[in-house]
Structure 1
């Protein structure tokens, strides 16, 4: 699919077939994303928000986990992850596996996370797991 003049499929193929290109791309994008996140978080802090959630796929790969009060890691069996990404993004299993293999394993991430949410079941089960953590951190409504 083409978004704003870029072919996501072409870029994905290029990046995941060349480690040097992948690293350059991630460095550029990650630096930009970090700047944006920091700016947004500062705005929330100044407005008095008590909690802000940030979805950060490469948080551990860029050693940013200590920048947050808590890190909730969502994990799922690899077969479920592949099926979900294939359905969501229309990618084939080979490309999805390349992407997964380029990241730290769930086991490595689990050692760095403060909390782990297993997402192998239903959306309701996922909501229940999140609610447990919201209560743990006294963030419930």
Structure 2
């Protein structure tokens, strides 16, 4: 079964695109969502994150997301240490999930495929891009962030140009109807590739 990576910068609309693939009957794994769930569920992760960030990392047993976000913002060393705790657990959870899936391929939505040099884990990679003004607006509405903060996050991430160069497919997500058509085209393209390989 093929593993298709779905990535893109903050506010590009990766999860919306992932849902379009799900509507086509493709199993979808959203790494960020699963990571958050594991950070609340796994005793090992909890213990290690408290060691790393202190007791403030959790409030009433739930991850203190705003505190963690504040700690890792502009602190790459702390972010790397956190990722070293969380990512292996997510990878293991994904492998278990994958065993239960059926179909020609699965979509794994992950924000930092290229940043963490994880390209080799995927058969093909789709990058979602959107105009910066749309991205900023989406994140401000979703997270209640300020424009300055969103711009700072975008600046910290790998540029769309760099991601596009390393991707097999690109989806421009500025208009949902257009994006849906692009998803269908890519879906058919992937199925065609798989059929050719099976010949």
- Say yes or no: TM over 0.5: yes
Q: 2: CA distance between counterparts of 1:39 and 1:130?
A: 26
Greater relative contact order (Cα < 8 A, sep 6+): 2
Q: TM-score, normalised by structure 1?
A: 0.83
- The residue number in structure 1 matching 2:189 is 136
Q: How many equivalent residue pairs?
A: 134
- The residue number in structure 1 matching 2:86 is 29
Q: Give runs of aligned pairs for residues 1-141 of structure 1, distance below 5 A.
A: 4-44=61-101, 48-121=102-175, 123-138=176-191
Is the 1:65–1:113 Cα contact (8 Å) retained in structure 2?
Answer: no
Q: 2: CA distance between counterparts of 1:53 and 1:42?
A: 14
| SS of aligned partner of 1:128 | helix
Deviation digits for residues 6-65 of structure 1 (CA, Å, limit 9, x no counterpart): 221111111104221122112222222222212222332xxx432111101111112222
| SS of aligned partner of 2:107 | coil
Higher strand share: 2
Is the 2:104–2:191 Cα contact (8 Å) retained in structure 1?
Answer: no
Deviation at 1:4, TM superposition (A): 4.9
Is the 1:16–1:98 Cα contact (8 Å) retained in structure 2?
Answer: no
Q: TM-score, normalised by structure 2?
A: 0.61
Stretches of 4+ aligned residues off by more than 3 angstroms:
none
Unaligned runs of 5+ in 2: 1-58, 193-199
